[in-house]
Structure 1
Amino acid sequence: MILTVTLNPALDDTYEVPDVRFGEVNRVAAVHRRPGGKGVNVARVLHGLGHEVTAAGLAGGVAGRRIEEGLASLGVPASFTRTSGESRRTVTVVGAEVTVFNEPGPAVTGEEWAAFLGGYERLAGDAAVVVLSGSLPPGVPPDAYAELARRAPAPVILDADGEPLRLGLAGRPAVVKPNAGELARATGVRDPAAGIRLLRDAGAGAVVASLGADGVLAWTPDGLLRAALDRPETGNPTGSGDALAAGLAAGLAEGLPWPERLRNAVALAACSVRSPVAGEVDAGELPALLSRVAVRTEEGHAARSHE
């Protein structure tokens, strides 16, 4: 079982608006309402591909109940600790560009955090991989991810930003998955390869940095590898990083070698870009996308080239 943790889940509304005009009245062509948050999206992708997964986290109020009900309607097993505060909502507007509005989330009490930790330890004991994703709501300790990583017997994938990412490295996660902005903010350097090395030195077992159209750059036991499509996909990139994390989690659980793990994860991220809704992929599109992903060793690092 793969366990995903979303401490700040959201009820996610996606509006398709072909020609957005800010400052004017816009007519929405289609509305998609789903349970969201980074770890929830990871769980939905994994479930859609047939993997055994459990989504855990904190949820409260009407929005929290709707998140849980939405996961149940999709058949995704979930175990959320209830909070007194109302879970947040997010709004994504998909047009010629993609605009996202993220609420901060509810304040979490010390008693609620302690209750979550008790349930988390039971779930983590049965997991093959644990994925820790997303922002922390107010009241959750800033080093929460380090604590959760230490309490997990299984390897941990960490996908976070800012202080939660920097402090989370102390838990020595097996894989850290920043995007380019998160990598720069965590390390203070612009060069991705240098930033990746800094995260490795700070405690990450491996680092997979998603670099948009340039694919991913990964420091792994096989060396510094780059995986990328022959040409970028266009669509809604919201959630593509979550699909990438899902692919890494599946590959880790299955014991795949790193080049194959990266190839699958990049293809899955590209597949998610084609969907208007984060957390959803069409598995039938994966074989064609896989054939378009090349994985190679970066110059100056000892490992084989994998084409």
Structure 2
Amino acid sequence: MILTVTLNAALDVTYEADALVPRGSHRVLATYERAGGKGINVARVLSALDTPATVTGLAGGPTGQLIRDELRAAGLRDELVPMAGDSRRTVTVVSRKDGDATVFNESGPQVDPVSWADFAARFTHLVREATVVVLSGSLPPGLPSDAYAQLVRSAADSGAATVLDTSGPALLAALPVGPDVVKPNAAEISEVTGHQDVVAAAEALRALGAKAVVASRGPEGLYAVTPQGAWRATPPRRLTGNPTGAGDACVAALAASLASGAPWPVRLCEAVALSAAAVPCPMAGDVDRDIYGRFRTTVSVENTHASHPH
């Protein structure tokens, strides 16, 4: 079983409009609402691939109840832990003209120490069933910057591998504990390492403790540095659409292939193909299975021996 952790779960609201015009008035062409947050999106993609996933994290208040209701309707196993505050919402405006997405992320409620202790106890129980744990997204206010580090350590104690997708202090604090895979995007990896070059930045994160680093290069694909070598994986062509779910689809592919024991070139091929398959979909957590099927046989995976000093 793959366990996905979303400490800052959200109700995702998506508006489709003809185009986003600053200071303009917009007619909404379609509205979607559903449970979101990066770990929940990962679980949704895994479910679409018929890979069992369990959702845990924190949810509270009326918005938290809407999140749990939607998880149930989607057939996802809900192990969210109640908290005192009301869960956040996100708003995404997708332009039908060019597929660009503009996202508004609320920071989320302050998490009290009792809710965090309750979650840590639930996590210790759930992780015993897991082969892989996915830790995704920002930390809500009130949690220590080493919250993910604590969970990576707990997962390792139970024999579960970890995939970490976060940024800033939460990412840096977790590296010394040795997460199995970290997946920053180009902006996140540059921010925490100070390197603009993605190869140097990835090797810097490895030097700080990550066992493997998979850096997203947006439409150019992925760069990975691992104990078995380094690779560039590139999609056969660019797709237009809403890229907000591509990173979560990438993480889902990495988690599934880590659980199956696939070699790294296969993991990266799957991750690029599934990321691309998310782009045409208006909501994060969805993938186009036809595109996934076509791309997974045409992704270019190149072994690279480029070396940069740590």
Q: Which range, TM-score by smaller chain? A: over 0.9
Confirm whether residue 107 of structure 1 aligns to residue 110 of structure 2.
Answer: yes
SS in 2 for 1:125: helix
Amino acid at match of 1:269: S
The residue that corresponds to 2:121 in the other structure is 118
Which shows bigger deviation, 224-233 or 202-211? Answer: 224-233
Output aligned runs, 1:145-160, within 5 Å: 145-152=148-155, 153=158, 154-160=160-166
The residue that corresponds to 1:305 in the other structure is none
The residue that corresponds to 1:28 in the other structure is 28
Amino acid at match of 1:114: A
Output aligned runs, 1:6-155, within 5 Å: 6-95=6-95, 96=98, 97-152=100-155, 153=158, 154-155=160-161
Count residues with an aligned counterpart: 301
Contact conserved, 2:276 with 2:291, CA < 8 A, in 1?
Answer: no
Distance 2:145 2:180 in 1: 20
Output aligned runs, 1:120-269, within 5 Å: 120-152=123-155, 153=158, 154-269=160-275
SS in 1 for 2:129: coil
Amino acid at match of 2:22: F
Output aligned runs, 1:262-277, within 5 Å: 262-277=268-283
1:232 is displaced (CA, Å) by 1.4
Query: Which stretches in structure 2 are left out of the alignment for 5+ residues?
Result: none
1:34 is displaced (CA, Å) by 1.3
User: In the TM superposition, what whole-angstrom CA distance separates every residue of 1:33-75 from its partner, at most 9, and x where no partner exists?
Assistant: 1111110100110011111100100001111111111111000
Contact conserved, 2:10 with 2:89, CA < 8 A, in 1?
Answer: yes
Sequence identity percentage: 50
Distance 1:285 1:217 in 2: 21
1:291 is displaced (CA, Å) by 2.3
1:299 is displaced (CA, Å) by 4.1
The residue that corresponds to 1:298 in the other structure is 304
1:229 is displaced (CA, Å) by 0.7
TM-score w.r.t. length of structure 1: 0.96
SS in 2 for 1:147: helix
RMSD (Å) for aligned C-alpha atoms: 1.0
Distance 2:53 2:236 in 1: 31
Distance 1:117 1:126 in 2: 15
User: In the TM superposition, what whole-angstrom CA distance separates every residue of 1:122-165 from its partner, at most 9, and x where no partner exists?
Assistant: 11111010000000111111100000000012010000011101
Contact conserved, 1:145 with 1:171, CA < 8 A, in 2?
Answer: no
Distance 1:272 1:258 in 2: 21
Contact conserved, 2:5 with 2:136, CA < 8 A, in 1?
Answer: yes
Query: Which stretches in structure 1 are left out of the alignment for 5+ residues?
Result: 302-307
Which shows bigger deviation, 254-263 or 277-286? Answer: 277-286
TM-score w.r.t. length of structure 2: 0.95
Distance 2:257 2:17 in 1: 36
SS in 1 for 2:243: coil
Which shows bigger deviation, 203-212 or 229-238? Answer: 229-238
Contact conserved, 1:143 with 1:168, CA < 8 A, in 2?
Answer: yes
Contact conserved, 2:273 with 2:291, CA < 8 A, in 1?
Answer: no
